[in-house]
Structure 1
Amino acid sequence: MAGVQDEELKARKERERDELYALDISGVEWHCAPGTEEHEERVEIAYLPGGAVAMRSSLDPDTVLRYTEAEWRAFVLGARDGEFDLEPSPDKGSPASE
């Protein structure tokens, strides 16, 4: 029974992803953090139908990642809980990549 449910969940998630990436987002309004300047590197997000979100870098606006509402919510909650906090590298004092 669990195997069937896992397969159904996987199929549903693939459908959601395919639908999300099929959306025409050429006219969306991109938002960035307050206080950032137009010339600065920044993360930009756009709100999509159904609570989904698109995200891109201002330095590479053609590469766009898209997240369902559930994925975005999980990301935001994880960020608030510190799941993505990077520890400073002992030798350089900058974030270490994991």
Structure 2
Amino acid sequence: MPAHAWHRLFGAASDGGAHSRGGFGAYGRLATWRSVAALTGAPPGATVREVAALAEDCTWVSFGPDSEWFNGDGWDLGFAVLSPDGRRLAVLAATDAD
């Protein structure tokens, strides 16, 4: 998995946004791994090692849509993840805009 995606997801999960406190270290990591597992289509109960291996095999693209709700600040993020076989596309977009 690209390091950029991990850092952005972990930052959002652990630090929160402009209007929240986040989940801090351990809970932020848990939320990040859950997001990565969902984006990659990992099976329920997959280990961290299995999720990481699957994430490395996927194609990751970050994006920032041009819209009023997506301001492009530190708390806005968007990722599209294509499965290794090219048959599954998952998208996560989040903002902390008012």
Same fold (TM over 0.5): no
TM superposition score category, shorter chain reference = under 0.3
| Superposition TM-score, scaled by structure 1 size | 0.27
Larger radius of gyration: 1
Structure number with higher strand proportion: 1
| Superposition TM-score, scaled by structure 2 size | 0.27
Between 1 and 2, higher relative CO (CA 8 Å, sep ≥ 6) is seen in 2
